[in-house]
Amino acid sequence: MNIKKIIQREMMIEAVAIKQASKRIDKNIVEAVNYISDCQGKLVTTGMGKSGLIARKIAATFASTGTMAIYLHPAEGIHGDLGMLQKGDVVLALSHSGNTQELVSVISYIKFNEIPVIAVTGNVDSVLAKNADVVIDASIDKDVEPFGLVPTASTAVQLSIGDALAVAVLNKKGFEVHDFAKIHPGGTIGKKLLYNIADLMHTGNAMPMTKETANVKKAIAEMSEKGLGCTLIVNRSKKLVGIVTDGDLRRFLSQGFNDLEVPVENAMTRDPKRMKSNELAVEALNLMEKYKITMLPVVNDKDEPVGLLHMHDLIRAGVI
């Protein structure tokens, strides 16, 4: 038994199933997105068994991206929980067969109350499909699931469709990263999205800064005093023109320059990357990782330095 090949085969089966499902996407998906984005109540996802677990996850994804969403267990629904449904809601029902008894039982109540139903099913001729306002084809090739009984590829397709719907809806609603931050205040996600650069940067006397007319020796002294491994370089108009880091000094000395009395512009990196203080700390992190830098100047609208952000500041704050 080659476990690695089994794993790779199953992952490829699920990937192919999702790819094939994506090719069957038609105008119905647009109608589904419109129903959800225009919903005046809440999105209610439902499904039994493994489809139910996927429906729970989809509800969580929608809730985390600005759409009020809950999960309704069909079996609990027919024993009283249908009371959570109300006019203005939209139901997203998941079922591979489309004929699951518990799910079909709640559909009649949903339709009686004129609540739109979006069906994600592997059987477009099923009872669920025939009673839905919108049908999304989530069918898969026969015999791709273990024994033809264990939901693997079918649930992977359901999940991909649910995630795709959520992304489409958040884009249509204009949901931005700042909106995401408001509903994710805790943990690493909250820290990444709630901290602005202004909350973490070094300012005032703690910010190393040297005039471009100064020499390298003066820049080294400023770096040593502030202890951040760099100094910002400004011109006579107090605008940022460069930065000198420990790495810049090593390169300067390795090139045979031993005269520390020469102007600091001989050692500095010109036109360094920079950001504004009101931008998110996670955006600064992304920029620093992209360009492999550990210090980031922070400037105002006049391009004057107002702070310095160090990678260590992001680490201490738990943004990384």
Decide: 291 and 275 in contact? Cβ < 8 Å: no
* Residues 134 and 276 both lie in one domain: no
For the domain that residue 217 is a member of, what is the CATH number?
A: 3.10.580.10
pTM: 0.64
Q: What is the dihedral of CA 38, 44, 46, 52, to 10 degrees?
A: 110
* Residues 57 and 151 both lie in one domain: yes
* Residues 245 and 164 both lie in one domain: no
Q: Residue 17 falls within a domain, yes or no?
A: yes
Overall number of domains in the chain: 2
Q: Residue 265 falls within a domain, yes or no?
A: yes
Please identify, among 175, 205, 222, the residue that sits at the C-terminal boundary of a domain.
175
* Residues 9 and 153 both lie in one domain: yes
Task: Provide the percentage of residues in the chain whose pLDDT is more than 70.
Answer: 93
Domain carrying residue 231: 197-316
| Amino acid making up residue 79 | H
* Residues 271 and 161 both lie in one domain: no
CA–CA separation, 278 vs 207, rounded Å? 17
Q: Residue 135 falls within a domain, yes or no?
A: yes
* Residues 57 and 158 both lie in one domain: yes
* Residues 204 and 108 both lie in one domain: no
pLDDT tens-digit map of 289-316: 999 999 999 999 999 999 999 999 988 8
pLDDT tens-digit map of 78-136: 776 888 888 899 999 999 999 999 999 898 889 888 999 999 999 999 999 999 999 99
Please identify, among 175, 210, 234, the residue that sits at the C-terminal boundary of a domain.
175
* Residues 205 and 171 both lie in one domain: no
> Quick one: which of 244, 248, 243, 254 has its CA closest to 305?
243
Q: Residue 187 falls within a domain, yes or no?
A: no
Side-chain-side CA neighbours of 192 within 13 Å: the count stands at 11
Q: Residue 182 falls within a domain, yes or no?
A: no
Decide: 155 and 50 in contact? Cβ < 8 Å: yes
For the domain that residue 73 is a member of, what is the CATH number?
A: 3.40.50.10490
- 254 is written with which tokens? 């390795």
Helix axes 49-64, 153-173, angle to 10 degrees: 20
Q: Residue 232 falls within a domain, yes or no?
A: yes
Q: Residue 186 falls within a domain, yes or no?
A: no
Please identify, among 175, 206, 223, the residue that sits at the C-terminal boundary of a domain.
175
pLDDT tens-digit map of 206-253: 999 999 999 999 999 999 999 999 999 999 999 999 999 999 999 988
Confidence of residue 1 (pLDDT cuts 50, 70, 90): confident
* Residues 31 and 167 both lie in one domain: yes
* Residues 152 and 79 both lie in one domain: yes
Confidence of residue 191 (pLDDT cuts 50, 70, 90): low
Q: Residue 185 falls within a domain, yes or no?
A: no
* Residues 111 and 71 both lie in one domain: yes
Decide: 78 and 101 in contact? Cβ < 8 Å: no
* Residues 119 and 258 both lie in one domain: no
